[in-house]
């Protein structure tokens, strides 16, 4: 039985950006429940800078290529070092790490037993019963935790300085535009993002493009369609520098994607445009806002996909520039 202090706890969540940010909502209840515990975290090398320096995280272990350990090597390093492992990833690798690390383990299950049975026959209905932070908090229920905390991030002084450099000379107030998303069905047309950006620039705002390494196509199309000048192009920055830069924005307009959760954790209002994914599960916390047409087929997917199952992609194709611009202006006001 875990006591209130002196315990060693390992949290495992290594992908993806938005999920790792949202998973940090377990830190506050864990610190409250185990005030003297030593808490460590397993994440990917690219996301580790966001967790290092967080109050309450004593060490961050890197899993994966480009600066991290392989799963077997990391399992050997962590073997028997913890009293409790909290697996928020729900993958074979995360189970292996939890099994090696601790005798007591708690695992994230996004599906109910019934949903898991449907998934076996290819009918994986999206999870819509609660926000992602609450789903992570449910994993801690056996520890007496009832509610999530707020997501937390660490942005070091060096990252803040590099972010200020990236934004040097930019016209303020700044609006960020993030037209990318991992899955095609989650992307709103780059030309429409550009139309929103042009209108906000005409109203006196500076413009910042926010894009990751996988967003090259959307970013290129956005740049090509934009008439106004970009004040800064934050493409493929290290994640902690990106966080530092997002913290300078007055508003971020984005698809349902990692930058939404990063900006929200920093207290920056975000306008997130939703297509196939659930606003219940993924909406940004206030003052951010999720915009969705609310079609009968929405949501159709947990994370989006390459093709609309109905072939028309109306959820985002029918979302016009005018309501997005109106919502952006409301948030800016």
Chain residues that interact with ligand SF4, rule: CB under 6 A: 185, 275-276, 295, 297-298, 300, 308-310, 312-315
Give the nearer residue to ligand SF4 in terms of CB position, either 93 or 187. Answer: 187
Closest separation in Å from C-beta 256 to ligand SF4: 12
What residues form DSSP beta bridges with 62?
A: 43
CB neighbours (10 Å) of residue 41? Answer: 28
Place of tokens 């991992």: 182
Give the nearer residue to ligand SF4 in terms of CB position, either 124 or 314. Answer: 314
Closest separation in Å from C-beta 260 to ligand SF4: 18
Give the nearer residue to ligand SF4 in terms of CB position, either 80 or 122. Answer: 122
> What is the DSSP track for 28-82?
HHHHHH-TT-EEEEEE-TTTHHHHTT-TTEEEEEEBSTTTSB-HHHHHHHHTT--
Give the nearer residue to ligand SF4 in terms of CB position, either 39 or 255. Answer: 255
Give the nearer residue to ligand SF4 in terms of CB position, either 114 or 294. Answer: 294
Give the nearer residue to ligand SF4 in terms of CB position, either 105 or 313. Answer: 313
Closest separation in Å from C-beta 311 to ligand SF4: 8
Measure the CA–CA gap between 27 and 134, rounded to whole angstroms. 13
Closest separation in Å from C-beta 273 to ligand SF4: 12
CB neighbours (10 Å) of residue 71? Answer: 18
CB neighbours (10 Å) of residue 156? Answer: 16
Question: In what side-by-side order are the strands of the sheet with 174-178?
Answer: 232-235, 206-211, 174-178, 251-255, 270-273, 289-291
- DSSP-based three-state secondary structure for 85: strand
Place of tokens 């906000």: 200
Measure the CA–CA gap between 35 and 3, rounded to whole angstroms. 10
Measure the CA–CA gap between 312 and 182, rounded to whole angstroms. 19
Closest separation in Å from C-beta 307 to ligand SF4: 8
Give the nearer residue to ligand SF4 in terms of CB position, either 131 or 187. Answer: 187
Give the nearer residue to ligand SF4 in terms of CB position, either 269 or 299. Answer: 299
Q: 195-234 burial string, b = 16+ CB within 10 Å, else e? A: bbbbbbbeeebbbbbbbbeebeebbebbbebbeeebbbeb
> What is the distance in angstroms between the CA of the first residue and the CA of the last residue of the chain?
51
Closest separation in Å from C-beta 127 to ligand SF4: 15
Closest separation in Å from C-beta 189 to ligand SF4: 14
């Amino acid at each position: 039985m875990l006591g209130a202090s002196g315990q060693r706890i390992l949290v495992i969540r290594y992908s993806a950006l938005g999920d790792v940010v949202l998973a940090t909502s377990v830190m506050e209840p864990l610190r409250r429940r185990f005030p003297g515990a030593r808490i460590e975290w397993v994440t990917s090398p690219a996301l580790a800078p966001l967790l290092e320096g967080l109050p309450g995280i004593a060490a961050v272990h890197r899993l994966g290529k480009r600066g991290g350990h392989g799963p077997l090597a990391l399992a050997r390093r962590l073997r028997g070092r913890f009293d409790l492992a909290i697996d928020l990833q729900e993958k074979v690798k995360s189970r292996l790490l939890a099994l090696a690390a601790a005798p007591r383990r708690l695992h994230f299950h996004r599906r109910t037993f019934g949903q898991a049975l449907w998934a076996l026959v290819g009918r994986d209905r999206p999870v819509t019963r609660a926000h992602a932070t609450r789903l992570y908090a449910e994993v801690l229920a056996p520890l007496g935790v009832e509610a999530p905390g707020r997501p937390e991030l660490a942005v070091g002084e060096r990252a803040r300085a590099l972010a200020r450099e990236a934004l040097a000379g930019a016209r303020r107030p700044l609006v960020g535009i993030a037209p990318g998303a991992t899955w095609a069905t989650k992307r709103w047309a780059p030309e429409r993002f550009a139309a929103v950006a042009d209108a906000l620039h005409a109203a006196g705002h500076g413009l910042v493009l926010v894009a990751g390494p996988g967003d090259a196509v959307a970013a290129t199309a956005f740049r090509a369609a934009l008439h106004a000048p970009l004040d800064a192009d934050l493409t493929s920055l290290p994640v902690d520098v990106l966080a530092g830069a997002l913290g300078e924005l007055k508003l971020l307009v984005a698809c349902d994607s990692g930058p939404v959760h990063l900006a929200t954790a920093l207290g920056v209002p975000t306008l997130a445009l939703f297509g196939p994914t659930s606003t219940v599960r993924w909406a940004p916390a206030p003052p951010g806002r999720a915009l969705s047409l609310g079609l009968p087929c929405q949501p159709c997917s947990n994370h989006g996909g390459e093709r609309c199952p109905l072939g028309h992609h109306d959820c985002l194709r029918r979302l016009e520039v005018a309501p997005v611009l109106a919502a952006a202006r409301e948030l800016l006001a």
